[in-house]
Amino acid sequence: MSRGIKALIRIPAKVVFVGGLFVLSACGHLGPQKNLYQALGGAKGVDAIVYELIVRIADDERVVDRFHNVDISRFKAGLETYICSVANGPCDYTGDSMQVVHAGHQYTDTEFNTIVQLLIEAMEAEGVPTVTQNRLLARLAPDYEAIVYQ
Amino acid sequence: MTVFRWTPSLLGVLLCVLSGSVLAQSEGSRLLATGAAASLEGASGGGIVPMAVLSGYGTREEQGGTLFGSLVQTDDYALSVIGGSWSWHNRLEVSLARQRLSHQPLSERLGVAPSSIEQRIFGAKVRLVGDLIYTPWPQVSLGVQHKQNEDFFVPAAAGARDDSGTDVYLSATKLVLAGLAGRNLLLNATARSTKANQLGLVGFGGDLNNEAEWMAEVSAGVFLNRHWLVGAEYRQKPDNLSFILEDDWRTAFVGWFPNKQVSLVAAWVDLGEVATFPDQTGWYLSLEGSF
Ligand code: HEM
């Protein structure tokens, strides 16, 4: 018994610190929430998600025609900045509003759902956890009314 | 204990569901699980409570349908349901369901020969406003279920007045993205005007009450991820017959949506007292194919 306690006392501070961190991270949901942008993997993570999304758009006959004359690198940069800013990242989306960007195209309910599904698949491909996916979707879903049939 | 026997028609539907799913040419574009499951009365929803969502995966420009087979097994009753639905432009859903209740213990107690009751239900549901996911307000739908009881002998003996009736219901359903600790939360409330005794299987109206009354029904669930939904339902029931008590129903369910072609729901059910047999708890299974 007393030997056990002595052994405990002699555990180096470094081990206690690392152990404490482990416990903290295991209870991560109790601590302060990670910023959504960080949870998405920051600039690198968002870049990878948008890349995966564009790959899937290019392969989906329901939406690909809509992007025929689009400057894809500009679209990619714009979408990344937009996601970064709605996810409380260090960016400020200064482009046109979702309404203005998509107006006049009569984008359909089918197309909107398709883009959302492809985004989910892109996030899954990048290993984004379910709760992080949901938090991003929660911030993009309200754009529906500004985009569909405008 | 009634042992459920697989009727050929049910088996046929299940085969149809599976082969139809495999052969399906194209699938709808709405997100996985947004067609919910097939309720016992054919409308899309949970096991016992309809929701405002429309069956299948069709968007406002698409259409699609479903086929399903469901079983409820309690200590003294077995209910099998087969049916299908068709949804157009995420606006209108029509559904058909055929229910067959096996009640051998009840027949023995009453000393009568018929040991099953069949009922046909024609349903229609219109989405009035909102989108399950994308609008800040819930999706709201208005539905009707016209029910025809085809074996009225036992219900009439129990005091039921009519062998057919029409339920009218209003449902509001919302998927709150990241609504519960980051998981998506599904909330539904339904108000139903009905005279049906035990769904209509024991006829409509009775000596205690012969008017349609409004009943409250609620369901809630959490998506663990986009394939798995766990939740519960509660359905208030009328009390029209002095001869047989009718309790409110509850379920606790798990839904599995591996893809847009098939879904499977398993549940624990508590139907309370059903036609003189108390404590009818048991299980529920439902397989649905979408195309
Ligand atoms: C959640 C849904 C959506 C979001 C958040 C979204 C967001 C964006 C953003 C941020 C841009 C870039 C604006 C810029 O250049 O800075 C953009 C452009 C564009 N979006 Fe969307 N969008 C959505 C749905 C859709 C849908 C359903 C379609 C149609 C299939 C669509 C088609 C386009 C096209 C074609 C462009 C390029 C416009 C151009 O550069 O001329 N978007 N979108």
pLDDT exceeds cutoff 60 at A31: no
- Cα–Cα nearest to B9, from B75, B71, B66: B71
Phi, psi for B263 (deg, rounded to 5): -145, 155
Q: What DSSP string runs through B134-155?
A: TSSSPEEEEEEEEEEES--HHH
Instruction: Give me the pLDDT at residue B200, please.
Output: 98
Instruction: Give me the pLDDT at residue B279, please.
Output: 96
From the number of C-beta atoms within 10 Å of its C-beta (0-12, 13-18, 19+), residue A93 rates as middle
CB of B182 within 8 Å of any CB in chain A? yes
Does residue B45 come out as left (phi exceeding 0), alpha (psi in the -120 to 50 range) or beta? left
CB of B146 within 8 Å of any CB in chain A? no
Query: What is the pLDDT of chain A when averaged over all its residues?
Result: 85
Residues touching ligand 1 (Cβ under 6 Å) are A 63, 66-67, 70, 74-75, 78-79, 82, 95, 98, 101-102, 107, 111-112, 115-116, 140, 143, 147
Instruction: Give me the pLDDT at residue B20, please.
Output: 56
d(CA B254, nearest CA chain A) in Å: 18
- Give the whole-angstrom CA distance, residue B182 versus residue A140: 15
* Secondary structure of residue A34 in the 3-state scheme: coil
Nearest atom in ligand 1 to the alpha carbon of residue A66 is 35
Instruction: Give me the pLDDT at residue A9, please.
Output: 40
Angle at B112 (CA atoms; ends B101, B40), nearest 5 degrees: 10
pLDDT exceeds cutoff 70 at A106: yes
Residue A19 Cα to ligand 1 midpoint, Å, equals 46
Read off the tokens for A21. Answer: 């961190």
Please tell me which of the candidates B59, B135, B224 has its beta carbon nearest to residue A113: B59
Q: Specify the amino acid at residue B131.
A: D
Asked if A130's CB is within 8 angstroms of B29's CB, the reply is no
- Residue with the smallest CA separation from ligand 1 atom 33 is A102
Long-range pairs for B207-216: beta carbons < 8 A, 24 or more residues apart: B207/B159, B207/B240, B207/B241, B207/B242, B207/B243, B208/B239, B208/B240, B208/B241, B208/B242, B209/B238, B209/B239, B209/B240, B210/B161, B210/B240, B212/B168, B213/B238, B215/B191, B216/B189, B216/B190, B216/B191
Which residue of A lies nearest to B32 if distances are taken between CA atoms?
A117
- Residue with the smallest CA separation from ligand 1 atom 31 is A102
Instruction: Give me the pLDDT at residue B105, please.
Output: 95
Instruction: Give me the pLDDT at residue A32, please.
Output: 55
- Residue with the smallest CA separation from ligand 1 atom 20 is A102
- Give the whole-angstrom CA distance, residue B217 versus residue B188: 8
Residue B79: HSE in the Cβ half-sphere, 13 Å Cα cutoff: 28
pLDDT exceeds cutoff 60 at A7: no
Asked if A130's CB is within 8 angstroms of B183's CB, the reply is yes
B8-290 domain in CATH 2.40.160.40? yes
Which residue of A lies nearest to B136 if distances are taken between CA atoms?
A142
Instruction: Give me the pLDDT at residue B227, please.
Output: 98
pLDDT exceeds cutoff 60 at A59: yes
Asked if B224's CB is within 8 angstroms of A130's CB, the reply is yes
Which residue of A lies nearest to B224 if distances are taken between CA atoms?
A130
Instruction: Give me the pLDDT at residue A34, please.
Output: 80
pLDDT exceeds cutoff 60 at A21: no
Q: What is the mean pLDDT of each run of 10 residues along chain B (291 residues)?
A: 46 56 71 98 98 98 98 98 98 98 94 94 98 98 98 94 98 98 98 98 97 98 98 98 96 98 98 96 98 94
Over residues A59-82, the mean pLDDT reads 97
Instruction: Give me the pLDDT at residue A14, please.
Output: 41
